[in-house]
Amino acid sequence: MKITFLGAAQQVTGSCYLIETGEVKFLVDCGMFQGGTQADRHNAEPFRFVPKDIAFVLLTHAHIDHSGLLPKLVAAGFDGPTYTTTATADLLQVMLPDSAHIQEIEAERENRRREDKPGKKHKHSEKAVPLYSMADAVASLRKLVPISYDTQLDPHPTVKCRFRDAGHILGSAIVEVWLKGKNKETKLVFSGDLGQPDRPILRDPTAIEEADILLVESTYGNRQHKDLSATLEEFVHAINDTLLRKKGNVIIPSFAVGRTQEILYFLYDLTRQGRFKDLKVYVDSPMATKATDITFRHMEMFDEEAKKLTAWQAHNHVPLDLTFTGSADESIALNSIHSGAIIISASGMCDAGRIKFHLINNLGKSQNTILITGFQAENTLGRRLVDGAKTARIYGKDIPVRAQIYTIGGFSAHADQPALLGWLKQFRHPPMHTFVIHGETHAAQALADKIREMDWEVTVPNLGESVIF
Query: For 293-339, what is each residue's pLDDT tens digit?
Result: 888 788 776 767 666 666 666 666 666 888 999 888 999 999 999 99
pLDDT at 309: 63
Contact 253, 355 (CB under 8 A): yes
CA–CA separation, 416 vs 424, rounded Å? 12
pLDDT at 152: 97
Greatest mean pLDDT range, 91-95, 410-414, 433-437: 433-437
pLDDT at 310: 66
Query: For 192-248, what is each residue's pLDDT tens digit?
Result: 999 999 887 789 999 999 999 999 999 999 999 988 889 999 999 999 999 999 999
Omega into 345 within 30° of 0, i.e. cis?
A: no
Residue 379 pLDDT > 90? no
pLDDT at 315: 61
In DSSP terms, 153 is beta-bridged to: 161
Q: Which residues contact 155 (CB under 8 A, 6 or more apart)?
A: 26, 55, 56, 58, 81, 83, 161
Residue-range domains of the chain with CATH: 2-223+413-468 (3.60.15.10), 228-411 (3.40.50.10890)
Torsion-angle region of residue 63: left (phi > 0), alpha (psi -120 to 50) or beta? beta
Residue 469: count other Cβ atoms within 10 Å of its Cβ: 13
